[in-house]
Structure 1
């Protein structure tokens, strides 16, 4: 899953940046939008990999939500001025795998056997 996520971040996210490389005042330059685009770039290949490996839809959705949650939970700290843009980006990348691990622990049987 992690390899799929890294491939998505290395391939899909640059496409997003290229497609939205217009005006710097554009809505696509809002940090929250950009972070959600980055999470999407990582989530799409991870979902495809999980589908290929035979996971059920519910655990796939839970894993995808865990990936987004790593960033979304930090938005109030950004809005409140407690974290800067780089702090949100770095902390979100740390929280994402921790939330994913939480999703895996919650569905141990789903992830503990060979697919």
Structure 2
């Protein structure tokens, strides 16, 4: 568990409620980034989604931009923003290795990357920076 201590006035229900709310806000911001910035890639780089690597890293970038902007608006620390941005890329980078080896399909990279980023986001929220997300 976290080595951070929380103020005594915050009960468990309050803490969980804040963590869930912040988490859901970031997921919504990720979707907003994908929806708003996805078409921009098509204008700037036609055919950008023709390779798995570029497509998933482009989507991770769109999600990281959306989420980072929201977190900056909510006045999160630069370190917390960087951790959450890394959570967008790390699952895809991990899954690209077996993809390049021919062990998994592009669909596994796409779906698995999106699913794995959810716990990759939760981990720093709960274990490393809980107090930042509770307030």
Alignment TM class, shorter chain as reference: 0.7 to 0.9
Looking at CA atoms only, which structure, 1 or 2, has the larger radius of gyration?
A: 2
Q: Which has the higher contact order (CA 8 A, sep 6+)?
A: 2
Matched, 1:107 2:129: yes
Report if the CA contact (8 A) 2:64-2:88 is conserved. Answer: yes
What is the RMSD computed on CA atoms of the aligned residues? Answer: 1.5
Distance 1:78 1:12 in 2: 26
2:63 match: secondary structure: helix
| 51-60 vs 104-113, which moves further | 104-113
Q: TM-score, normalised by structure 2?
A: 0.75
| Structure 1: segments with no counterpart, 5+ residues | none
How far off its partner does 1:14 sit? 2.1
- Name which of 27, 33, 38 aligns with 1:8: 33
How far off its partner does 1:13 sit? 1.3
Q: TM-score, normalised by structure 1?
A: 0.86
- How many residue pairs get aligned? The number is 109
Report if the CA contact (8 A) 1:20-1:28 is conserved. Answer: no
Report if the CA contact (8 A) 2:29-2:70 is conserved. Answer: yes
> What residue in structure 2 maps to residue 69 of structure 1?
90
In the TM superposition, what are the counterparts of 1:1-115 in structure 2 within 5 Å? 1-22=26-47, 29-105=50-126, 106-113=128-135
